[in-house]
Structure formats: structure tokens, C-alpha cells
Amino acid sequence: MLHLAASKRLREMTLAVDLAFAASVTTVVGPSGAGKTTLLRLAAGLVRPDAGTIRLGERTLDDTARRVHMPPGERNISLVFQEYALFPHLSVAQNVAYGLAARHIRRAERQRRVSAMLERLDIAELAMERPARLSGGQRQRVALARALVLEPSALLLDEPLAALDVQTRTSVRAELREVLTNLAIPTVLVTHDYADALVFRERIVILVGGKVAQDGSHADLLAHPHTRFVADFTGVNFFEGLLDTHEPDRLARVALPGSVEIFVPAEGLVAGPIGLGLRPWDITLSTMPPSSSARNVLRGRVREVLPLGGRVRVMLAVGPECALSLVAEITPDAQASLDCREGQELYAAFKATALSVGPTERGDTLGRSDAEVEPAGSRD
Amino acid sequence: MHQLHRNTGSSLRAGAGRLLVVTLAAIQLLFIAFPLAALVLHTPLGTLWTNLQTPTATSALTLSLETTTVALLLTIAFGTPTAYLLARGTFPGRRLLDSVVDLPIVVPPAVAGVALLLAFGRQGLLGPTLNNLGIHLAFSTPAVVMAQLFVSCPFYIRSARAGFIAVDRALEDASATLGYGGWGTFRRITVPLALPSLVSGAVLTWARALGEFGATIMFAGNLMGVTQTMPLAVYLSLESGDLDGAVALSVVLVLVSLIVSLAVRLIDA
């Protein structure tokens, strides 16, 4: 258990949290400037809290009242830095061995552990390479190897996917899921992209302006968002699929789970795995097949209807097998005219251009500003 | 027709402009190269070698080599922490300190010599104290080193500071989380990554120390074998009518300067 009950004054706001992380993966999501990186730096010991305590299991890492501050190197907490911070003048193997050397582990033992770790992350053939020669995905694995080879008591990851290009992201997300779920140590992954949080849905902490806006599973956040920000942030649909063929009209077809096919603007995309975001308020619902120009029309069944203040969130299961979850948001008026209720069959329509591809485009646009929120109409 | 005329006019003007630029640049470059060539070509190589064997020349060469080496080592020992502090430290007055460090580059060397005299000389502020301790700096070899140190250390500090600033702090943080303390991180990450800047700064500092004249002659005097470094020996030889001796040492200094400037360019590339 990693427990932070601490505050730290930053330039624009004060980070003040009381968070306990159990031996599983927790995702901390928030817009930039929310204090996410500072949270990790506090836990790693790179910055000292202004007040409070930080504990890892039985050990006290920080206690401002007793003037305790354990230096970063003694905490046995590994931090995977944003952009990975690999040492450019050292080979992959030397990077991974770095922390072991600091711990005065004998050479033979060091080499054994390094090669076992490189093997485990499938980068053994890169051992002699310099980081500059690696791809984004490979760098991420080296950073993970360097962190995990120390057998840390807790693992922190700062935006581990932000440095990757759109299409690498989808495959690396899956790899990361595989590596992290088997760790059984407190693991905190920080991201500004809710799509990354969906990789580990069990516990998501939403951090806004240095405070925890909400803390729960993805299902909790989706069904009972405490604030409008959380509602906007978490409501975004995220699909992982396979882009296969390019169609006429500059569109490309993406095959999603549950035999669902959707179309996206093809520009700049190549065939392969792809992640797509869709805002719930960009989806139009209707009882009859819509006559609008929307390129994507999916038939589905209403699973749940959740009134959220000025709008209504409708959870659907769409596609031929009714296997793909979709969250749509409509006005109460639209809900009344549709007579929307559980079990009802509906058509969900959205334009190809409503789908956003990848992190750069979506990262900043996902969390809509409040000004944009009103009125959440059933627009077309 | 009118259009054509205008085009010809403007291309003519462009041609004349280019000619002017090239001519001015050629004159400037010649102005630098010509005197140096005159110096190097003055004496045949064999005679040059003989002229370097005189007692004045050999003692100046040895003294210069010894004093500049000590000055460089002291600059590295004290300048490296200074540069790191200026690069990474966050304290009030850091920018002021930046410009204080640069001062010896701007201050005329003769003025630096007077300043050193007034600080450490017999009549200087620390004069009585040093005297009581039995230390007499003025007109001694340590005074030569101090003069060189004073005028040359900014070159190393500036270059090292720029090198340290260029090292990504995330790398130092990463090293800290992986288990190294400040010194271990500095040695394993910061220095290797800033090494080109450190080396080119050291080379420049050494070259400046080697050429140091004004502060040395004011503060340390001109005693053969004690304070008479190469530039001072060049001056003395010329004054006493020994042009060949002056030329021989000068050629050595020019060649060293050429190598240094090429080396720095190579390191920075």
C-alpha cells in the first residue's frame, strides 16, 4: 500500500491529496496542470511535500511533522519518466543495469538480472543499442525494464504513452496492460488521456486543479459522475479496432469488436490497429433509420438511461451481436420524444468526422470546457 | 521593353552588391591571415628550431607549460562547481553572478593586473596578512598562475555552465530515483553528457592562459625563469633587439592557437 496524505504548493494551485494505492494499477487522469506529475514526484521523493506524510507499507517516506524525508534512491520506488529519460550515452543494457550498479549488486548477478529482464520484455536483441536508435515503443520497454529490474515496491508511470505516435499507441497499450497487471505492487499510471485510463478500468482517479474530483471504477465514473467535468471527461467512447481497407469518399473502414464496422476519414492513416474516440454528444439517437448524412449508423439496444442534470446519458449495446458498448448523451427533450427506456431498440448515428484518432488530436479536446457544454442537444 | 530594362538593372545591382560583399570579406580575411603568414614565413624551419634552444626561449616555454597547467587544473577544480551552481541553482542574484563571472573577459588585462596587485600585492588589501604568513606573491611564479587564472577562468565557466544547462534534468532525476546521490549522478550522467562543453571550455581557458600578458607583467613582473612566460619573453626579446627569438616563440604560440581553434570547432561540431 502506497499512501500519500500530503500537500504541495505549486505555481498556479496547490496539490492536496489523500490517496491510498493498493497492489494493483490505478490510473490518475486529469488535464494538464492538474498536478499529476507532481503527485508522482512526491511519491518518488524528487520533491518534498509542504505538509503531510507519504508511506509505503510500514515505511515512512515523508513526514513533514517529524522532518522525515527519505531520498529517492532509498525508497525502492521506480518511476518511468515522461519521454522515458533514458540515458543517451549508455546502451540499453547499461541503462537497465544502472540502478543495480547503484545498489552495489555484483557484476555477474547484475548481468543475469538485466538479461532476464530484457528477455522478459522481448528486447534482448537491443541490448547493445543506444536509446537514440530505438523506436518509441522500444524506448518504453527499456524504461519499463530499467524500472522493473530493481524489483520495486511501487511503480509510477508518468504519461507512458504520450511520447508514442497514434498507431504505436494502440499496440503498446495492450503490452503495457500485460506487463502491469501481473506486477502485484502499487502501480500508479498518470495520463491526460482518458483512453489510456480505460486500459485499467478498475480504479481511476480524476485529478483537477490539484484536488481529487472523483475516485472510482470506470463504470462508477460513467454512471455517477460527481461533476460536469468528470462527466465530460469520462463519457468519451473509446474503441480499439483494426483499420483494413480504404473506401471511396476518402474514408477508411475500421473493424471493431462485436462485428461492428465504422468509417473514419482516411487521411494520414495506414492499415493496422487503431484507437478511436467518440464524444457522446456527437451521437444522434432515433427510433427509425436516420435520413441524415451521418456515415455511421449502428443499431442497438438501450441498456441504461441516466439523467445527469441538464442532459441524459444513454448506455447502448450496438452492433449485430449487441456486443459493443456505446455511451450517448441527449437532452431531456430528446429523451422524452424518443420515449427512451431500457431494452428499447434505437439507431445511433454519428459522422465519420466526429471520430477522433489518437492522442494529439484528442488529448486536449476530450475534456470540453464548460462554456461549450450548454446546451447538450441532440445535434446533427 | 521597360520591364526588361528594369530586370537587367536590378540583376546588375545584385551582381555589384555581391562583388562588394566578397571584396570586403576578402580584405578582412587577408588582414587576419597576412600578418600571421608574415610571422610564420619569416624564418626557415631549421633556424626556427635553433632559435627555440636559447635559454630565454626554453625557460619561457617550460614556465608557460607549468603555469598554464596549474591554472587550468585550478580552474577546473573551482570552476566546475561554480558553473554547476550557476546552471542549476535557484537563488537570488544568480544573473548578477553570471555577469561577475564574465567580467575578467571584458576588463583590460592590465587593469586586472593592477586589481590583483591591490588585492594580493605587498601594499594590497591582503598584503599585510599574507606577509605575516610569510607569503610573498608579487613577482613570484604563483603570481603568474593567479594572473592566468583570473583572466582565463571565465571561458571554462561559461562553457561548462552552458553544457550543464543543456543536460535534461529528467536524466538527473532518473538517476536519483535509480539510487545515485548527487555526486554519483553528477559523475555518471551530468559530466559525461556535458563533456564536449567542458573540454572545449578547458581548451579555450588554457589557450587564454597561455597568451596572458598584461595582468602577468603588472602583477608578476618579468623575471626570466620565475615569471617570464612566453608572451613576456616575446616582448622582452623584441625590446632587446632579438627579433629572431621573438619570432620563434611567436610562431609556437600561433601554431598552438591554430590547433586550439580547430580543436574547439571539432568538439563543438
Statement to judge: residues B33 and B137 lie in one domain: no
Let me know if residue B46 belongs to a domain: no
We find that the CATH architecture of domain A278-373 is Beta Barrel (2.40)
Q: Which of A265-279, A314-328, A360-374, B36-50 has the lowest mean pLDDT?
A: A360-374
* CA distances in angstroms from B77 to B74, B80, B157, listed in the order given: 5, 6, 11
Query: pLDDT tens, A74-130?
Result: 999 999 999 999 999 999 999 999 999 999 999 999 999 999 999 999 999 999 999
What is the CATH number for B159?
1.10.3720.10
Let me know if residue B6 belongs to a domain: yes
Cell of B228: 617570464
pTM of the model: 0.77
The CA distance from A206 to the nearest CA of chain B, in Å, is 25
Let me know if residue B12 belongs to a domain: yes
Q: Does B92 touch chain A (CB under 8 A)?
A: no
Query: pLDDT tens, B51-67?
Result: 888 888 888 888 998 99
Statement to judge: residues B26 and B83 lie in one domain: no
Q: HEC string of B194-206?
A: HHHHHHHHHHHHH
Let me know if residue B51 belongs to a domain: no
Model pLDDT, residue B82:
93
Neighbours of B86 (CB within 10 A): 21
Are A71 and B181 in contact (CB < 8 Å)?
A: yes
Statement to judge: residues B201 and B128 lie in one domain: yes
Mean pLDDT of B32-50: 85
pLDDT at residue A167 greater than cutoff 80: no
Statement to judge: residues B134 and B206 lie in one domain: yes
Window 115-154 of B: residues touching A by CB (8 A cutoff) are none
pLDDT at residue A380 greater than cutoff 50: no
Statement to judge: residues B157 and B115 lie in one domain: yes
Let me know if residue B240 belongs to a domain: yes
User: Can you give the residue range of the structural domain that contains B1?
Assistant: 1-41
Q: Which residues does chain A have within 8 Å of residue B187's beta carbon, measured at their own beta carbons?
A: none
Q: Specify the amino acid at residue A191.
A: T
Statement to judge: residues B70 and B111 lie in one domain: yes
Closest partner residue to A79 (CB to CB) among B177, B188, B189 is: B177
Closest partner residue to B178 (CB to CB) among A41, A89, A102 is: A102
Q: How remote is the C-alpha of A325 from its chain's centroid?
A: 18
pLDDT band at A364 (very low <50, low <70, confident <90, very high): very low
Let me know if residue B48 belongs to a domain: no
B261 contacts B245 by C-beta, under 8 angstroms = no
Domain layout of chain A by residue ranges: 2-234, 278-373
Statement to judge: residues B134 and B262 lie in one domain: yes
Closest C-alpha to A328, from A379, A263, A369: A379
Are A99 and B179 in contact (CB < 8 Å)?
A: yes
Statement to judge: residues B11 and B137 lie in one domain: no
Give the total number of structural domains in chain B: 2
Closest partner residue to A85 (CB to CB) among B174, B184, B192 is: B174
Let me know if residue B19 belongs to a domain: yes
Rounded Cα gap, residues A271 and A319, in angstroms: 22
Query: pLDDT tens, B84-130?
Result: 999 988 888 888 888 899 899 889 999 999 999 888 888 888 888 88
Q: Percent of chain A scored above 90 by pLDDT?
A: 47
Let me know if residue B252 belongs to a domain: yes
Statement to judge: residues B165 and B242 lie in one domain: yes
Q: Beta strand A187-191 with A25-29: parallel, antiparallel or unpaired? A: parallel
Statement to judge: residues B83 and B160 lie in one domain: yes
Closest C-alpha to B250, from B104, B48, B84, B113: B48
Are A85 and B173 in contact (CB < 8 Å)?
A: yes
At the fourth CATH level, the homologous superfamily of domain A2-234 is P-loop containing nucleotide triphosphate hydrolases (3.40.50.300)
Statement to judge: residues B67 and B20 lie in one domain: no
Task: Match 466526429 to its residue by C-alpha cell.
Answer: A354
Q: Which residue has the higher pLDDT, A34 or A228?
A: A34
ipTM summary value: 0.77
Give one word for A272, left, alpha or beta, with left for phi > 0 and alpha for psi -120 to 50. left
Statement to judge: residues B171 and B242 lie in one domain: yes
Model pLDDT, residue A325:
87
Peptide bond into A290 cis (omega under 30): no
